[in-house]
Amino acid sequence: MEVKKLGVGNTTSSITKHFVLARLHSLAGLIPLGLFLIEHFYTNATAILGADTYNRQIAFLHNIPFVLLIEIFFIAIPLIFHAVYGMYLTFISRNNTLTYSYRRNWLFFFQRITGIVTLIFVVYHIWALRISNAISGTEVSFQVVSEHLQNPWIFAFYVVGIIATTYHFANGISTGLITWGITIGKASQKMSSRICLGVFILMTVIGIMTLFAFV
């Protein structure tokens, strides 16, 4: 009897741990990372208004007090947790797209695929335009980004990366609203799906327009 109770206790503890981590994973993607993504898209979109506008926006961000601490605790740590636990969920979750043609299964399938693509894209982006420039002592500017995107393969990679990122974010909002019990009924879920589709399209268009602004 004691062995059975211990087994039930371990199972309950495991379920509770997974529940908490899943909620934290969702929260990290929606709030700190979601807000940062919107800000990042806005900052880069200033390039559409010209090099001077973009450079002023970059200078403004760099002059924010405690910017390094903000980047570490509100961007880097949530990003690492969201990425690591997201990859864990990707490899343990089952998907029924080949068995059932339900729309939600396909959305979940693409959420996993875009999560992997987004992670690769973000790691490359951080290395190419942040870490490597910091090592060489080069400040990020319109010219630096423009030169980086002159390579057609890199430009194409950024297009794919932006599409993957915006889909992952928009669909993440839709599933997050369900996860947190905000959209419970079918009508509210359908409405949120349409709104999130609009978010995906809008952010994708802005992101690609921004890329062309640099070249």
Please enumerate, by residue number, every residue annotated as part of a binding site for heme: 40, 82, 125, 168
Q: Can you say whether the dihedral through the CA atoms of 49, 200, 114, 184 is positive or negative?
A: positive
The tokens of 49 are what? 């208004």
* CB-CB contact of 178 with 17 (8 Å): no
Residue with tokens 């503890």: 13
Report CA torsion sign: 209, 79, 57, 171.
Answer: positive
Distance CA 131, CA 127 (A): 5
Is the Cβ–Cβ distance between 197 and 107 less than 8 Å?
no
- Which residues are part of a known binding site? 40, 82, 125, 168
Residue type, 28: A
Report the interhelical angle of 32-45 vs 51-62 (nearest 10°): 140
Would you say 84 and 25 are in contact if contact means Cβ atoms under 8 Å apart? no
